[in-house]
C-alpha cells in the first residue's frame, strides 16, 4: 500500500493563540472517536497538524470520514520516508509512478523544516526532481504551472511526500465553542442550520415539537433520521428532545386569533426550548429561519417571536437564499429526507393569512388571556421524551425522568 499516513491541517485554529492547545486536544479526541471503527490507527501530533498513521488500513474510507469532520481545513494522503536522501528519492519516485495518469509536467517543492537535514530545500528540489526525471524521461519540469506539484516536507521525525491537498469541512471541532439547542423541524432548513452550527464548534441538542396524533409516526421518524445524520457530522451521540405540542396547539387555536397563531406557536416553542436549555446547560437556540421566506420570517415577525426568548437566537441561514440552502442540504445528505412529504405540526394549523407584522402588545394580550398558559408549557417540558442518537443507532425512547442528566 502506497500511503501510510494522512496529514490533517487545522488552518485557522493555529492563529487562535492560547485557545490553540484546547482546540488541538479536542480535535485529536474527535478524530480518534470518529475513526474508532478502524483498527490499529495511531496518531502523531505536531504544530498545527495531526498525522493519522494508517498501519495497514486503506486510505480512502479513513479519508472520507475525516473529510466530514469539523476543524480540519485540508488533508493529504502522504508517503513517509526516513529523512535520508536515498530513501526520500525512492519514495518520491514510487509516488510519481503511482499516479493514475502520468502527467506531462511536474515540479518538486521541498521544505526543510528540520534544519539539521544536510541539504537545503533548493538542493532537494534538484536532487529529488533529477532522480524522478531519470526514471521517467517523458516528464518535463514546469515551475510555474505544473500538472503535479510533488511536495517534500522534511521534518525531524520523518519526511512526508504528497501531491494532493484535499479541502475538508473546515470550521471548529465539535463542542469547542459552547452548547446550544437546535430547533429541528422535518424541513429543509433546520438540518442545514444544525450542520452550520456544528461546523462552528457548537455542541447541540435537538428539539422537535410534534402534534401526535395530528402528525404521524412517519413525521417523527423523519426527524429522527435527520438528527442521526447530524450526529454523523458531530461524531458524537446527539440528544433529540421530542416535545408533545398537541395540547398547546389546540389551545392556541381556540384563542381565535387565526392570523397570529404561528407567532403564538413559535413563542411557545421558544419558551419550552429555554426550559430544556436550562436543564441541558445550553446558552443559545439555533433555528433554520431565513429572512423573508414565510410570514413568520419577516423582520417584524422575528422581532415579536424573538421577544419570548432571553437566550441568544442563532440563525445561520438568515441571509441565505433558498437555493443556497438547498445546495448545502444536498451536499450534507439531508435533502432527500427533508423533502419526504410528512406533515409538520405547524403546517397543520397554518392560517389563510398569517400575520407578517404582528403587534407585540396584542400578542402578549392574547397570551395573557389563555387559561393556564404557563402550566401548559411546563407540562409539555415535563412530558418531553429524549432520544440519544448515533448515525446507525436503533432508537430507544426514554421518558423525561429516565435520563440521568435530567
Ligand atoms: P424548516 O425547513 O427548517 O422547517 P421552514 O422554512 O419550513 O424551516 P418554518 O416552518 O417557519 O420555516 O420554521 C422556522 C424554524 O422554526 C425552523 O427552521 C425550525 O428551526 C423551527 N421549527 C419549525 N417547526 C418546528 C418543529 N415542529 N419542531 C422544532 N422546530 C421547529
Ligand atoms: Mg418547516
Give me ligand 2 centre to Cα 70, in Å.
26
H helix count then E strand count, the chain:
14, 15
Q: Check residue 13 and give its pLDDT.
A: 54
| Pocket mutation for ligand 1, best pick of 195, 206, 288, 343 (most atoms within 8 Å of C-beta) | 288
Contacts of 41 (CB under 8 A, 6+ apart): 35, 52, 53, 54, 55, 57, 62
Q: Which residue has the higher pLDDT, 345 or 317?
A: 317
Give me ligand 2 centre to Cα 144, in Å.
51
Q: Check residue 370 and give its pLDDT.
A: 95
pLDDT of 319 > 60? The answer is: yes
How far, in Å, CA of 103 to CA of 78, rounded? 19
Q: Check residue 405 and give its pLDDT.
A: 25
How far, in Å, CA of 269 to CA of 255, rounded? 17
How far, in Å, CA of 365 to CA of 340, rounded? 38
Q: Percent of the chain scored above 90 by pLDDT?
A: 79
Give me ligand 1 centre to Cα 253, in Å.
18
| Pocket mutation for ligand 1, best pick of 188, 190, 290 (most atoms within 8 Å of C-beta) | 190
DSSP type of residue 138: T
- Residue-wise pLDDT for 73-114, tens only, equals 999 999 999 999 999 999 999 999 999 999 999 999 999 999
pLDDT of 249 > 90? The answer is: yes
- Residue-wise pLDDT for 215-237, tens only, equals 888 899 999 999 999 999 998 99
How far, in Å, CA of 110 to CA of 113, rounded? 9
Nearest CA to ligand 1 atom 8: 189
From the CA of 296, the nearest ligand is: 1
pLDDT of 376 > 80? The answer is: yes
β partners of residue 111? 153
| Pocket mutation for ligand 1, best pick of 180, 181, 183 (most atoms within 8 Å of C-beta) | 183
- Residue-wise pLDDT for 24-33, tens only, equals 888 999 999 9
Angle at 195 between CA 5 and CA 26, to 5 degrees: 45
Q: Check residue 348 and give its pLDDT.
A: 62
Which of helix, strand or coil describes residue 387?
strand
Which residues are near ligand 1 (CB < 6 Å)? 183-185, 187-190, 207-209, 287-289, 293-294, 296-297, 344-346
From the CA of 325, the nearest ligand is: 1
Q: Check residue 346 and give its pLDDT.
A: 60
pLDDT of 15 > 70? The answer is: no
Q: Check residue 398 and give its pLDDT.
A: 43
- Residue-wise pLDDT for 119-173, tens only, equals 999 999 999 999 999 999 999 999 999 999 999 999 999 999 999 999 999 999 9
The model carries a pTM of 0.90
- For the CA of 186, the closest atom of ligand 1 is 4
Give me ligand 1 centre to Cα 391, in Å.
22
How far, in Å, CA of 262 to CA of 35, rounded? 43
Amino acid at each position: 500500500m502506497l500511503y501510510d499516513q494522512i496529514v490533517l491541517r487545522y488552518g485557522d485554529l493555529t492563529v487562535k493563540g492560547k485557545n490553540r492547545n484546547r482546540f488541538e486536544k479536542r480535535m485529536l479526541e474527535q478524530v480518534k472517536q470518529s475513526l474508532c471503527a478502524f483498527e490499529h490507527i495511531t496518531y502523531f501530533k505536531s504544530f498545527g497538524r495531526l498525522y493519522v498513521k494508517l498501519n495497514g488500513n486503506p486510505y480512502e474510507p479513513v479519508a472520507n470520514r475525516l473529510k466530514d469532520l469539523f476543524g480540519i481545513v485540508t488533508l493529504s494522503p502522504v508517503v513517509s520516508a526516513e529523512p535520508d536522501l536515498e530513501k526520500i528519492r525512492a519514495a518520491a519516485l514510487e509516488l510519481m509512478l503511482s499516479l493514475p495518469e502520468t502527467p506531462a509536467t511536474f515540479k518538486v517543492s521541498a521544505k526543510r523544516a528540520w534544519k539539521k537535514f544536510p541539504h537545503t530545500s533548493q538542493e532537494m528540489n534538484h536532487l529529488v526532481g533529477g532522480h524522478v526525471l531519470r526514471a521517467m524521461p517523458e516528464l518535463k519540469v514546469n515551475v510555474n504551472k505544473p500538472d503535479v506539484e510533488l511536495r517534500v516536507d522534511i521534518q525531524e521525525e520523518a519526511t512526508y511526500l504528497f501531491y494532493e491537498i484535499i479541502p475538508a469541512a473546515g470550521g471548529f471541532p465539535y463542542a469547542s465553542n459552547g452548547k446550544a439547542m437546535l430547533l429541528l423541524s422535518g424541513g429543509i432548513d433546520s438540518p442545514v442550520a444544525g450542520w452550520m452550527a456544528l461546523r462552528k464548534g457548537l455542541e447541540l441538542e435537538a428539539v422537535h415539537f410534534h402534534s401526535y396524533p395530528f402528525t404521524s409516526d412517519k413525521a417523527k421518524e423523519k426527524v429522527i433520521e435527520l438528527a442521526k445524520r447530524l450526529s454523523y457530522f458531530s461524531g458524537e451521540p446527539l440528544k433529540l428532545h421530542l416535545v408533545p405540542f398537541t395540547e398547546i396547539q389546540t389551545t392556541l387555536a381556540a384563542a381565535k386569533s387565526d392570523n397570529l397563531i404561528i407567532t403564538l406557536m413559535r413563542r411557545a416553542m421558544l419558551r419550552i426550548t429555554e426550559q430544556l436549555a436550562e436543564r441541558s446547560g445550553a446558552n443559545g437556540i439555533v433555528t433554520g429561519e431565513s429572512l423573508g421566506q414565510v410570514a413568520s420570517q419577516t423582520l417584524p415577525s422575528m422581532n415579536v417571536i424573538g421577544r419570548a426568548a432571553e437566550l441568544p437566537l442563532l440563525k445561520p441561514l438568515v441571509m441565505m437564499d433558498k437555493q443556497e440552502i438547498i445546495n448545502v442540504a444536498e451536499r450534507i445528505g439531508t435533502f432527500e429526507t427533508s423533502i419526504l412529504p410528512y406533515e409538520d405540526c405547524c403546517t397543520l394549523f397554518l392560517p389563510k393569512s398569517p400575520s407578517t407584522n404582528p403587534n407585540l402588545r396584542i400578542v402578549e394580550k392574547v397570551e395573557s388571556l389563555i387559561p393556564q398558559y404557563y402550566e401548559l408549557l411546563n407540562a409539555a417540558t415535563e412530558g418531553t421524551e429524549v432520544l440519544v442518537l448515533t448515525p446507525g443507532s436503533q432508537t430507544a425512547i426514554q421518558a423525561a425522568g429516565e435520563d440521568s442528566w435530567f
